[in-house]
């Protein structure tokens, strides 16, 4: 028994690969921002995986490495939420709009929180334990807070997005 009917292949690949591409694009833009706030975030506090001194390429490599797998997983889950089961199937465009809104919201919250980190640190109000910060320079406080917020919030927003896609689908046979 096939999990996905052959007639569903176009929608399956469009949603899975489209969502993955959006997540990777988000990761690339996110890491380009981070590396421009503090190149040290990547050069000192990440393993030396890429043999380059070009900060753009360095951020690109880490972004693709960090987001491709999770993007595929989210894409598959979005496909399941949009197309499987007894409800009316959602179209890929609606899924992509949901993913776009989630990614924009994620970055807005992560960057805003990161930008507040130096001020919060002055009052001992960092959102994460000090042990999670490799040093207390303003740039590292910004990048590390931004990154931690993004990592913790992404699964939460993804879950909300999956629920949104699924429950927006009309029940079959109901007008």
pLDDT band at 11 (very low <50, low <70, confident <90, very high): very high
* pLDDT at position 4: 80
User: From CA 91, how far away is CA 81, in angstroms rounded?
Assistant: 11
User: From CA 96, how far away is CA 139, in angstroms rounded?
Assistant: 33
* pLDDT at position 47: 84
Q: What is the pLDDT of residues 105-128, one digit of tens each?
A: 999 999 999 999 999 999 999 999
Q: What is the DSSP letter of 89?
A: P
Report whether pLDDT(138) > 60: yes
How many CA atoms does the CB half-sphere of 14 hold within 13 Å? 14
User: From CA 52, how far away is CA 74, in angstroms rounded?
Assistant: 30
**pTM (whole model) above 0.85:** yes
Q: Name every residue whose Cβ is closer than 8 Å to that of residue 128 and which is 6 or more positions away in sequence.
A: 144, 145, 148
* pLDDT at position 7: 87
């Amino acid at each position: 028994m096939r999990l996905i009917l052959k007639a569903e292949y176009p929608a399956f690949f469009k949603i899975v690969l489209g969502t993955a591409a959006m997540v990777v694009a988000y990761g690339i833009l996110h890491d380009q921002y981070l590396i421009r706030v503090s190149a040290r975030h990547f050069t000192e506090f990440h393993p030396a995986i890429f043999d380059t001194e070009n900060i753009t390429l360095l951020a690109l490599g880490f972004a693709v490495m960090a987001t491709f797998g999770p993007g595929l997983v989210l894409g598959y889950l979005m496909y399941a939420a949009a197309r499987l089961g007894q409800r009316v199937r959602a179209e890929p465009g609606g899924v992509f709009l949901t993913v776009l809104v989630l990614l924009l919201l994620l970055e807005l919250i992560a960057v805003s929180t990161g930008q507040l980190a130096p001020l919060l640190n002055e009052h001992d109000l960092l959102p994460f334990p000090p042990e999670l910060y490799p040093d207390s320079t303003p740039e590292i406080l910004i990048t590390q807070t931004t990154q931690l917020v993004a990592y913790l919030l992404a699964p939460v927003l993804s879950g909300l997005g999956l629920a949104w896609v699924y429950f927006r689908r009309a029940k079959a046979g109901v007008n």
